[in-house]
Structure 1
């Protein structure tokens, strides 16, 4: 399979503002979501992070831009955990990487239910 020099990445990241005066980070997370909405990348926020997918460079740029925006909002420190998956054994249609992973597990569970 031909390989693009910029891998398609499915990432999960959790950006944690530190050193703020409030225990809630919702305002900072909302600022990051505003940034992500402008990227055109597919993303889905969840309780402890965000799934994000697109080209490796676009995903990393989006996370960088979230850091910049959250710092600008007043967070003096940020800690971010990132997990990134790539694959080159098959093509992944843009925007379907995470959904296809979830769908595959759901299909297996549905098969199990039918077998009972």
Structure 2
């Protein structure tokens, strides 16, 4: 299982706001019931099978074009651990457990 961070940014849209394009990407993501995801203020984190995630990201990348964007920049960071299960929650818990006075 992989944890992937993706940022999809339409360029040259005539407005600095991109929330409508992000919402379009998330509509695509919501249809992918076989992956988990979390919207953050700066990106989206996706958890699941790497091949499936990349397939979904490709569909998300196309969403701004379908909404009229002429150029789209997509950045992807992949954390793919093979020695044990990797999850978004597990990654956060591993850090919290190491903080003084904190427990999960």
TM beyond 0.5 = yes
Local SS of the residue matching 2:97:
helix
Which one has a larger percent helix, Structure 1 or Structure 2? Answer: 1
Whether 1:60 and 2:54 are equivalent positions in the alignment is yes
Q: Give the Cα–Cα distance (whole angstroms) in 2 for the partners of residues 54 and 113 of structure 1.
A: 31
TM-score relative to the length of structure 1: 0.82
The residue number in structure 1 matching 2:63 is 69
Local SS of the residue matching 2:81:
coil
Q: Equivalent of 1:107, from 73, 79, 97?
A: 97
Q: Provide, for residues 1-28 of structure 1, a one-character-per-residue CA deviation record: whole Å limited to 9, x for no partner.
A: xxxxxxx211001111101011100000
Q: Provide, for residues 52-87 of structure 1, a one-character-per-residue CA deviation record: whole Å limited to 9, x for no partner.
A: 011111110111001112110011111111100111
Q: Give the Cα–Cα distance (whole angstroms) in 2 for the partners of residues 87 and 47 of structure 1.
A: 25
The residue number in structure 2 matching 1:13 is 6
TM-score relative to the length of structure 2: 0.91
Q: Give the Cα–Cα distance (whole angstroms) in 2 for the partners of residues 76 and 99 of structure 1.
A: 36
- Structure 2 unaligned residues grouped into runs of 5+: none
- Structure 1 unaligned residues grouped into runs of 5+: 1-7
Q: CA RMSD in A?
A: 1.3
Local SS of the residue matching 1:39:
coil
Whether 1:33 and 2:21 are equivalent positions in the alignment is no
Greater Cα radius of gyration, structure 1 or 2:
1
